[in-house]
Every structure is written in C-alpha cells, then in structure tokens.
Copies of this chain bind each other. A is one copy, B any other.
Amino acid sequence: MKTKTSDSVEDYLKTIYDLTQNYGLATTSKIAEVLEVTPASVSGMIKKLASLQPALVVYRKHRGVILTPSGNKIALEIIRHHRLLELFLKESLGFSWDEVDEEADRLEHVISEEMEERIAQTLGDPVFDPHGDPIPTKDLLMPDHFFVCLNELRPGQGAIIRRVRDTDPDLLRYLSGKGVIPDARLIVIGYSHFDENIELKLNACEESVVLGPKITRQIFVEVLPDE
C-alpha cells in the first residue's frame, strides 16, 4: 500500500503546476514566495521530488523545474479537490468568492476520493469554480478554455467576464464591489497605452471602472462579436 504524499509535497506540486501555467516557468524563488518558505527550502524539496521513485519533477539546476507525468497527475488531483471544494463552499455553505481559496487550501489535502466524488455529484460535475478556473475532470483532464485576456481588449469591444485568476481576498472583494465577477457583461470604453490602464463599463453598474495591467492580466473574457 503506497503511503499518501505529504501535504507539503502536494503544495509544491500544485504550485509548480500553477506557476508553469500562469507564469511560463516555475523558479525556485517564485515557488518560495507562493509557499511562504525560503528559497533554500525550495531547493531542498525540489531535489527530493526529483529523486523520488518515480520522480515527480525534472530538475536542471539553476534552470527551474517541470512536472513529470507522475507529478502532474498528483497536481491535477489536488487542483480538482481545490476547485471542487471552492465551488462547494460557495454553493452549499454560502461562502463568498474571496473566502473559498483559503479554506480549500486546507481541505484539499484531506478529503477522500469518495468525498470528492460526492461533491462533484452534488454540484452536477461542474466545469468551473467560482473564479472561473477550470476544474479537471475525474480522469484528470483539464477542460479547454479559450478565453482572451482582458488586457488585450481595446475601446469599443464588448465581452463577458469568464475568469478572475487571483486569490487575494482584498482584491476579489474590491472587484466584486465594482461588479467585476464571472458572467458580468462589459464594454471597454478607454485604454491608455502609457500605463496600460483599461476603463470598463459593466452592464450591471452605473459607474465605470479603471483597472491597471496587474489586474487586467488576471482577468479573462469571452469577446462578443461587434454589434
């Protein structure tokens, strides 16, 4: 009977997956920053992950790290847990979207296969979590998602928000206060190429909003055809 991978290892694999997807590559210092440990600890753990049987990562010193198929599988299992839990906490217990990430970060390591399955069934095998992040299927395939990054839009373009890829509760509360949430319809009404600010008019709100690139790079939309 193979013993369960530790919470810590699961956290590293999930982080490497996320950074690789959203950042292009997973570096020692980025991992350290996300997990709130020192770079030295990351070096040590990565070396260990690379030398496990089977290896969970491929490691070239000073070059960053990528997941092996085994590592990827575990990462996707945890990410499925995490995203199912986020949606479950929101739908079944009434959590708000800025609170679910933190709670799911702890629960993701301890739920059984059976609980995962029951949650998925209760929610009707959902494809997106409350932030619009895709939920891996039961056989660990990541659903395709073809959304456009909000920072690519220009004045005149209409769109529907599909994904807000950030976990900072303060930011999420700020955004939902302005109506910037998944499924909201908007039109871009301004752009400044100096600071890359984008001004939006949400259908559901009177006031327009100006968002900087740090935020717009985390938001993905479905572009609507011109009227």
B111 pairs with A107, CB closer than 8 A: yes
Max chain B Cβ within 10 angstroms of own Cβ: one of A99, A102, A110: A110
A76-118 interface code vs B (CB 8 A; 1 in, 0 out): 0000000000000100111100010011001101111011001
A119 at the interface (CB under 8 A from B): yes
A122 at the interface (CB under 8 A from B): yes
- Give 10 closest A-B pairs by Cβ, nearest first: A106-B110, A93-B118, A103-B112, A107-B110, A110-B110, A103-B115, A92-B92, A94-B118, A93-B122, A93-B119
A residues apposed to B, CB below 8 Å: 89, 92-95, 99, 102-103, 106-107, 109-112, 114-115, 118-119, 122
- Tell me which residues across on chain B come within 8 A of A111, comparing CB atoms: 103, 106-107
Chain B: which residue is nearest A95 at the CB level?
B118
- What 12 additional pairs, Cβ within 8 angstroms, besides A106-B110, A106-B112? A89-B115, A93-B119, A93-B122, A95-B115, A95-B118, A99-B114, A102-B112, A103-B114, A103-B115, A107-B107, A107-B110, A107-B111
Give 13 CB contacts A-B under 8 Å: A89-B115, A92-B92, A92-B122, A93-B122, A95-B115, A99-B114, A102-B112, A103-B114, A106-B110, A106-B111, A107-B107, A109-B110, A110-B110
